[in-house]
């Protein structure tokens, strides 16, 4: 695919879009997702993995809460990836990821993912460039394995502007309901913004061979959530799942 240049892609919804109309569409899509998840769970022939990546304050937590609010918790699991533990560091970088991919019938949402190992580790030079190139290849093969095992993988980059990000980070200093999210390191990481953009662009260029990336404008939550929800619903509809019917006795 042609190389994506993030600063040439808008972080906002098209001006002609109506927020109220989109919110009505979101409500319809949530109803559809609830039914599709029921089908996914009942048929147990496929699974769904949704990967959310983005800069700090891009709205990953909010997207998870609002996009998946209509699904049955029995069939959905959210996994957040932090700094690898001492045990995880003793294994290959995909070891901790592979343990939590969804089994058939389930949908899992990754809040950050294996892409941290070619983004933040690259930006801070915790690994060398030859290792990054190997990891690009290994990620492609891993995603190929998932796809060939009937796991539908959707990858979303939540594309927030630097201006919107600082507003949201500052909001965490003053809003009691958001103070728990405040992390001094988030402000320090802004100094590496150009390096992060380049690392993401290289990841898009090198890791779209099996699963394409969806670049989601994230400055407005309603538009971000609509795009993610629409893509998830379309992906599940494409499976043309059916209820299995009565189980045969004996």
Q: What is the pLDDT of residues 174-202, one digit of tens each?
A: 889 889 989 888 899 999 999 999 999 99
Select from 147, 141, 143, 153 the least CA-distant residue to 110. 153
Alpha-carbon separation of residue 89 from 113, 140, 162, 199 (angstroms): 15, 21, 32, 22
| Distance linking the first and last C-alpha atoms of the chain | 52
Number of neighbours of residue 120 by Cβ within 10 angstroms: 17
1: confidence class by pLDDT, cuts 50, 70, 90: low
CATH superfamily of the domain spanning 18-237: P-loop containing nucleotide triphosphate hydrolases (3.40.50.300)
CB 224 within 8 A of CB 23: no
Residue 240: its pLDDT value, please?
97
250: confidence class by pLDDT, cuts 50, 70, 90: low
Select from 42, 34, 111 the least CA-distant residue to 73. 34
Interstrand relation of 151-159 and 107-111 (parallel, antiparallel or unpaired): unpaired
Average pLDDT score over residue span 132-137 = 98
Q: Please report, rounded to a whole number, the percentage of residues in the chain having pLDDT higher than 70.
A: 99
Average pLDDT score over residue span 93-104 = 98
Burial 121-149 (b: 16+ CB within 10 A, else e): bbbeeeeeeeebeebbebbbebbeebeee
Residue with tokens 């970088």: 93
Select from 28, 27, 37 the least CA-distant residue to 241. 37
């Amino acid at each position: 695919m042609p190389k994506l240049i993030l600063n040439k892609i808008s972080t906002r919804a098209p001006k002609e879009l109506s927020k109220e109309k989109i919110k009505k569409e979101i409500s319809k899509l949530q109803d559809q997702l609830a039914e599709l998840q029921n089908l996914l769970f009942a048929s147990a022939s496929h699974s769904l993995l949704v990967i959310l990546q983005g800069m700090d304050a891009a709205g990953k937590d909010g997207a998870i809460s609002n996009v998946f609010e209509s699904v049955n918790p029995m069939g959905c699991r959210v996994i957040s990836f932090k700094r690898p533990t001492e045990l995880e560091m003793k294994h290959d970088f995909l070891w901790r990821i592979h343990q939590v991919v969804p089994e058939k019938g389930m949908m899992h949402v990754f809040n950050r993912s294996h892409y941290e190992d070619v983004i933040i580790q690259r930006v801070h030079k915790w690994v060398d460039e030859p290792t990054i190139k190997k990891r690009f290849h290994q990620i492609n093969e891993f995603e190929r394995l998932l796809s060939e095992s009937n796991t539908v993988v959707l990858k979303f980059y939540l594309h927030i502007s630097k201006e919107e990000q600082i507003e949201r980070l500052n909001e965490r200093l003053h809003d009691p309901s958001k103070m728990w999210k405040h992390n001094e390191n988030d402000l320090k990481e802004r100094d590496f913004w150009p390096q992060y953009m380049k690392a993401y662009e290289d990841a898009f260029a090198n890791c779209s061979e099996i699963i394409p990336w969806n670049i989601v404008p994230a400055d407005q939550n309603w538009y971000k959530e609509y795009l993610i929800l629409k893509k998830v619903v379309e992906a599940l509809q494409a499976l043309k799942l059916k209820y299995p019917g009565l189980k045969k006795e004996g």
